[in-house]
Each structure stands twice: as C-alpha cells, then as structure tokens.
C-alpha cells in the first residue's frame, strides 16, 4: 500500500506519512536526514524541511509550478512545526502501535478543547489546504493556476459556466463520500480488510472496479508518472 488514506490526515506531517509513502520515505532517508534532519537546531530543521519539499517538487518535473507546490508543502510543515514548538500549541502525537493520531491541546483555544471532533476539523482543514497545492501541481503554468485559484474563491466576470448544477451536486457527493470513506478507514489497511472477505465477494468488487475504470475512460490519458 503506497497510499494510506491521505485525505484523512490530521496535519501535514501525517499527510506525508500517508501519501505516496515510497516517495516520502525516499525524501526522508536520502534528503532530509542527510541534510541534518532535526538534529541541528530549530532553524536548520526549518531550512531542511523547505529544501526537501522544494526538491520533492522538482522530482515531479522541471516546472516552476512544481517548485511552488513543494514550497507550499514546506510552508505548511513550517507552520505546523512552529505551532507544535510554541507554548500555544496543538501537539499531535502519533500512536505507532495503533496508527492513530491523537491531538492534545496544551493552552489551545478553549472552544477547540471542548470540541470532541477536533481531529475531524483539523482533517478537513488539512484536506482543504492540500487541495490548494494540487492546483499548482496540475496547472501547466502560473497563469492557469492563478485563474483556477481566483475562480475557486471569487466570481469571475463574464466567466463561462463549466459545470451544470447537477454536475456540481454529483461531484460534491463523490468528494464527500471519498473523504468520509478515508476518515472511516484511516486506521485500517486494505489488505487486512481484503483478507477477511470471502473470495467470491472480493472477486465481485475487483471486477466492478475494473469495469467502472474502463467505462470512465472517455479518452486516452498518459500515466502521470510516465515521464519518470
């Protein structure tokens, strides 16, 4: 499993533990740790984080949009670490044995301490900010990225309607279901679930997924990592 429900991540460190695990491990073992990791003081830790994320962006392609994608992830990790290191912080602790992220509030805002579902709220915030980075990841240039971002947060004068109201509802339902599924399965591995299923049910699920994948391909598209 190279992806462990990344859209259920509570914070950006947790996201990188769940998203593209092989790439995350490579960046950690061959860039972040050799640069000094967090062993040479806070300032060097922040610099090492940013360098690692910038190079992680360049790994995806020699385009400035990928550099910005990496810079945003580096900035997110900076802010997260600053909050953790400050005395007004939400301190995430990883329970490795159960693979659960537990958020404990130390001098955190009173309303946040009272919210039992603070993990879910932080997961939604993480999901939103991660999706902002995907705009730069998928855009061909800055002009396209900026146009997409402005259209996300404001009305575009004389803009064309790209999606009908019905399509927007369909997409919204799919996104909500996907995020809910990630959240419910966040501490579960697919292999463990599959091993508990009867062979005939597993066969039906795989066949249905394959058929849906084939039917959803309206036009040919190259594999995103083919160039690597």
What pLDDT tens digit does each residue of the chain (228 aa) get? 788 889 989 899 999 999 999 999 999 999 999 999 988 888 999 999 999 999 999 999 889 999 999 999 999 999 998 888 775 444 444 443 444 433 443 344 454 444 446 788 888 899 999 999 999 999 999 999 988 888 877 766 655 556 667 777 888 888 888 888 888 888 777 777 778 888 888 889 889 888 887 877 665 555 555 555
Within-domain flag for 205: no
Tokens of 175: 């996104």
Burial letters 142-153, b for 16+ CB under 10 A, else e? eeebeeeeeeee
Within-domain flag for 213: no
Within-domain flag for 90: yes
Of 22, 1, 14, 15, nearest to 228 by C-alpha is: 22
**107: exposed, middle or buried (C-beta count within 10 Å: 0-12, 13-18, 19+)?**
exposed
Within-domain flag for 78: yes
Within-domain flag for 199: no
Of 52, 57, 53, 59, nearest to 31 by C-alpha is: 52
**pTM of the predicted protein model:** 0.73
Domains in the chain, number: 1
pLDDT of residue 53: 96
Of 67, 56, 4, nearest to 26 by C-alpha is: 56
Within-domain flag for 216: no
Tokens of 19: 């998203």
Catalytic site residues? 60
Tokens of 7: 């859209």
pLDDT of residue 155: 67
Domain residues for 29?
A: 6-191
pLDDT of residue 125: 92
Within-domain flag for 198: no
Within-domain flag for 30: yes
∠ CA 35-57-68, nearest 5°, is: 110
**Using an 8 Å Cβ cutoff, are 58 and 66 in contact?**
yes
């Amino acid at each position: 499993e190279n992806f462990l429900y990344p859209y259920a991540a509570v914070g950006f460190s947790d996201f990188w533990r769940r998203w593209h695990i092989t790439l995350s491990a490579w960046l950690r073992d061959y860039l972040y740790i050799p640069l000094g990791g967090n062993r040479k003081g806070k300032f060097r830790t922040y610099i090492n984080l940013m360098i690692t994320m910038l190079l992680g962006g360049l790994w995806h392609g020699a385009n400035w949009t990928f550099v910005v994608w990496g810079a945003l992830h580096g900035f997110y990790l900076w802010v997260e670490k600053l909050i953790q290191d400050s005395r007004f912080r939400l301190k995430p602790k990883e329970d490795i044995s159960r693979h659960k992220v537990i958020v404990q509030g130390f001098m955190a805002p009173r309303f946040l301490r009272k919210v039992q579902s603070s993990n879910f709220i932080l997961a939604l915030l993480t999901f939103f900010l991660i999706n902002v980075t995907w705009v730069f990841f998928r855009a061909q240039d800055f002009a396209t990225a900026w146009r997409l971002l402005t259209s996300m947060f404001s009305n575009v004068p004389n803009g064309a309607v790209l999606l009908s109201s019905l399509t927007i509802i369909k997409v919204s339902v799919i996104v909500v279901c996907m995020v809910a599924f990630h959240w419910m399965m966040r501490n579960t591995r697919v292999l463990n679930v599959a091993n508990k299923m009867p062979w005939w049910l597993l066969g039906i699920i795989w066949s249905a997924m394959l058929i849906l994948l084939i039917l959803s391909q309206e036009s040919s598209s190259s594999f995103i990592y083919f160039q690597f």
